């Protein structure tokens, strides 16, 4: 993956309209450095993919939009984070398992942290397969976390507590500010959210998103696919600043946006 090349036209200026090509890199970037979390934290980053026409899924799955580079970046971002927040819808559709250690790849990234980040699954119904590997095969130092609500079915809460660390935050729906505060209090200051669109919309609405890593997949999908955020229109859309842009040899774009404060 390399930083986006300078266009043929260095700068197009026409009737007061100035278009700037993305800056070319002087030297190859080390992606683990380029994507390092800010040192202070807490910092909540989302990693999502969309087609050029804005679809967040193809045939109902995000995986249908990606390529090998995107999968490798997804893996790197997991290696960098302390906890991976994901909605139950995505866990069910994409068949999430626990994050697996990457011997020879992640030791330097993880330092003295557990070898993998735990998943923190957001669910109100707790309609989750508690016998699935995402619960039964989680690394002992990265037990899966369930983020749920006070009105979740009590028998499901009890069953989930046998297989996972349950955090109750919010009455009828998870209060994301409270959930993130609790994760942070447990030492998870480098947070990664992999969606899905319902969860991401609420994270953004709560003002919690610091950074969006967006892969633009060079496809036109059409149909009624969900967008990156699936929630009510935001009265004051947060503004983002483009912090970095990379491309690979297959015309995928890898954009890092940070929230303008
Ligand atoms: N393009 C991408 O990068 C990307 C990333 C992820 C997913 N996707 C795609 O998005 C689709 C799934 O998206 P989605 O929006 O339906 O799923 P989602 O956001 O992953 O999960 C929705 C579920 O999360 C739980 N939830 C959400 N808000 C909650 C709250 N406030 N309190 C308690 N629980 C809450 C509910 O689970 P319960 O029903 O268990 O209560 C809800 O059904 C799939 O097609 C997937 O492939 C795309």
Cα-to-centroid distance, 230 and ligand 1 (Å):
9
Domain ranges within the chain, ordered by starting residue? 37-259
Tell me the pLDDT tens digit for each residue of 22-42. Answer: 766 666 678 999 999 999 889
Cα-to-centroid distance, 141 and ligand 1 (Å):
26
Beta strands in the chain (DSSP E): 2-3, 12-14, 17-19, 43-51, 83-87, 119-122, 145-148, 165-168, 190-193, 211-217, 240-247, 253-259
Tell me the pLDDT tens digit for each residue of 42-96. Answer: 999 999 999 999 999 999 999 899 999 999 999 999 999 999 999 999 999 999 9
Tell me the pLDDT tens digit for each residue of 199-213. Answer: 999 999 999 999 999
**What is the pLDDT at residue 236?**
94
**What is the pLDDT at residue 2?**
58
Residue 58: name the closest of 226, 255, 203 by CA: 226
Tell me the pLDDT tens digit for each residue of 192-248. Answer: 999 999 999 999 999 999 999 999 999 999 999 999 999 999 999 999 999 999 999
Cα-to-centroid distance, 218 and ligand 1 (Å):
24
Domain at 37-259, CATH homologous superfamily: Dihydrofolate Reductase, subunit A (3.40.430.10)
- Out of 46, 52, 122, give the residue to mutate to test ligand 1, the one with the largest number of ligand atoms within 8 Å of its CB: 122
**What is the pLDDT at residue 18?**
74
Residue 99: name the closest of 68, 77, 122 by CA: 77
| Alpha carbons 79 and 191: distance in angstroms, whole number | 11
Cα-to-centroid distance, 204 and ligand 1 (Å):
14
Residue 195 CA, closest ligand 1 atom number: 6
């Amino acid at each position: 993956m390399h930083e986006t090349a300078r266009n043929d036209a260095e700068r197009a200026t026409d009737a007061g309209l100035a278009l700037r090509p993305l800056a070319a890199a002087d030297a190859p970037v080390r992606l683990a450095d380029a994507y390092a979390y800010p040192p202070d934290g807490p910092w909540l980053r989302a990693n999502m993919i969309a087609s050029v026409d804005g679809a967040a899924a193809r045939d109902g799955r995000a995986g249908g939009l990606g390529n090998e580079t995107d999968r490798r970046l997804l893996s790197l971002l997991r290696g960098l984070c302390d906890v991976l927040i994901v909605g139950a819808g995505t866990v069910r559709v994409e068949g999430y398992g626990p994050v697996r250690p990457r011997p020879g790849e992640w030791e330097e990234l993880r330092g003295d942290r557990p070898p993998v980040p735990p998943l923190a699954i957001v669910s109100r119904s707790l309609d989750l397969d508690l016998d699935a590997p995402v619960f039964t095969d989680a690394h002992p130092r990265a037990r899966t976390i369930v983020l749920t609500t006070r009105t979740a079915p009590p028998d499901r809460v009890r069953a989930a507590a046998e297989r996972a660390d349950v955090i109750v935050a919010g009455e009828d729906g998870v209060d994301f500010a409270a959930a993130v505060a609790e994760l942070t209090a447990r030492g998870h200051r480098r947070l990664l959210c992999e969606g899905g669109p319902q969860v991401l919309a609420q994270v953004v609405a709560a003002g919690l998103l610091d950074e969006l890593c967006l892969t633009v997949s060079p496809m036109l999908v059409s149909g009624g696919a969900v967008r990156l955020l699936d929630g009510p229109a935001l009265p004051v859309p947060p503004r983002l600043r483009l912090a970095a842009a990379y491309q690979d040899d297959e015309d995928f774009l890898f954009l890092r946006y940070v929230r303008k404060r």
